[in-house]
Amino acid sequence: MISANDLRPGKAFKWDGSLYKCTEYAHVKPGKGPAFVRVKLLNIETGANVEHTLKPELKFEELRVENRPAAFLYANGDTFVFMDSESFEQHELTGDFIGKPKQFLKENMEVTLIHADGRIIDCELPSHVVTSIIYTEPGMKGDTATGATKPAQVEGGATINVPLFVEIGDRVKVDTREVKYLERVRD
């Protein structure tokens, strides 16, 4: 059993007969009254996102999770197809289930499918990916000394803020969890 205080983003648990995954967590200690936990949860069975305010001592049944390597095969509309690297079984996941990182999926990319209670509860991409800039406004010559940024669109459609010196065609390393620019990559 785990308590509401033990919840963190990515933690899977069973509550009232349903499977949930914590997507956001905040421990709140107001000036008056007892502390409480505010969470956003994804109902794994229905796909619904719900918000709850919980007492810190509330208990849940923790799920045993198993991480399995998989490869992204292709996208068919809003359905993304993955193949388990060990059993070669194919799994279809929706874009809503994968979330923001779906913008960085490339064919044959290695991912981790997280299983719990006989179901896939999450899809984790590598923490960093290298991708190409497909559109950004041109930078001005000599405009590299400041920390200013500009929006840029990368392969897959994600928009990130990049330094002014980054141009169309540049390859950049992007943090998939925070969806932010890390560095320009020289090939």
Paired tokens of 146: 């400041």
- Report CA 78 to chain centroid distance, whole Å: 16
Task: Give the DSSP letter string of 20-56.
Answer: EEEEEEEEE--SSS--EEEEEEEETTT--EEEEEE-T
* Cβ–Cβ under 8 Å, residues 50 and 57: no
The reported pLDDT for the residue numbered 142 is 61
Residues contacting residue 63 through CB under 8 Å, at least 6 positions apart: 12, 13, 14, 19, 116, 117, 121
Pairwise CA distance, residues 135 & 178, whole Å: 20
pLDDT digits (tens), the chain, 187 positions: 888 888 888 788 888 888 888 888 898 888 888 889 999 988 877 778 889 998 888 898 888 888 899 999 998 888 999 999 989 999 998 887 787 778 888 888 899 998 887 788 888 888 888 988 899 888 766 656 667 888 999 887 888 899 888 889 899 998 887 788 889 888 6
The reported pLDDT for the residue numbered 143 is 59
State pTM to two decimals.
0.69
The reported pLDDT for the residue numbered 33 is 86
Pairwise CA distance, residues 114 & 125, whole Å: 11
